[in-house]
Amino acid sequence: MTDDKNNNKDIGNDPGLIQKDYITIIAGPCAIESHQQLENTAKIVKDLGLSYLRGGAYKPRTSPYSFQGLEEKGLEYLKEIGQKYGLKTVTEVTDTVNAGIVAENADVLQIGTRNMSNFALLKKVGEIAFKKKKAVILKRGWASSIKEWLQASEYLTMNGEVEVILCERGIRTFDTNTRFTLDLAAVPVIRKLSKLPIIIDPSHAMGQSDLVTPMSRAAIAAGADGLIVETHNDPASALCDGQQSLNPKEMAELLKQIKKIASVIGKKVR
Ligand code: PEP
Ligand code: MN
């Protein structure tokens, strides 16, 4: 057990997802598959001393034949399990129709890469996030420039102040050895152009679990404010993105390595 474990206690008074002196790590499965699966993973996240649990209830799958998520039932599990373990929750909003119910049930709203340019959705999520004081993670479209991404972020804040966190999750290039190409240059570029915090999703960028930890280290060294990492109690049985999900042991090792880098740059991990 580490000192950082105690950070969980303070989460009730958390002023926001991103805190200046901390690296925030969001962990959890790609998709909420069952009550048991989410609870098993939540226990792991809690035991690691982290404060944010991710899990998709509405899954925007490229193939219509892939698992589409448990939808409302998934949100119900996320809310209940988040509260039980004292974890803040992060889940994706895929549609203006489900934006309200997602905001009723989760602490942080995520806009996925496929929806970065869905301006009607951005406006709706911005309105709801402002009213309900929710933070929004805006993933970069996999074919979007940094300028387009920053413009998209302004749709979220058009109707009032909202905590917006940018998330680089890989862009499409000609290389096929990784699922996408993680553009870590986005970190210093965003620092130069914007005041918004930026986190990195190494899971969707790399697409393979053994490549996630090295790029997580690099992301933190480059100055990212945090990570969102797919973690599963049993990746081999995952219904979605198991090949890129870390098992409990791998997640513990990632955290150990990130803490070392964080201490070099004067930050703590939560
Ligand atoms: C996700 O985080 O579950 C997800 C679908 O990511 P992305 O939108 O980056 O593909
Ligand atoms: Mn995924």
pLDDT in tens, 156-206: 999 899 999 999 999 999 999 999 999 999 999 999 999 999 999 999 999
- Ligand 1 neighbours, Cβ below 6 Å, are 30, 56, 92, 112-114, 139, 169, 201, 204
What is the token pair recorded at 21?
A: 């002196």
Tell me which residue of 2, 4, 3, 56 sits closest to 25, measured CA to CA.
Answer: 4
Sign, Cα dihedral of 239, 244, 246, 250: positive
For 165-217, the DSSP string reads EEEE--B--S--SSSSB--TTHHHHHHHH-S--EEE-HHHHH-SGGGHHHHHH
Could you state, in order of their start, the residue ranges of all structural domains in the chain? 4-269
Fold of 4-269: TIM Barrel (3.20.20)
Token pair 């803490």 is found at 259
Best probe residue, ligand 1, of 102, 121, 169 (max atoms within 8 Å of C-beta): 169
Residues that place a CB less than 5 A from ion ligand 2: 30, 241
Predicted model pTM: 0.95
Helix (H, G, I), strand (E, B) or coil at 82: helix
Tell how strand 226-230 and strand 22-28 pair up. parallel
> How many Å lie between the centroid of ligand 2 and the Cα of residue 266?
31
Q: If you take atom 5 of ligand 1, which residue's CA is the nearest one?
A: 112
- pLDDT attached to residue 159: 87
* Cβ-contact 87, 45 below 8 angstroms: yes
Read off the pLDDT of residues 30-58 as tens digits, 9 standing for 90 and up.
999 999 999 999 999 999 999 999 999 99
Cα torsion through 7, 50, 137, 99, rounded to 10: -100
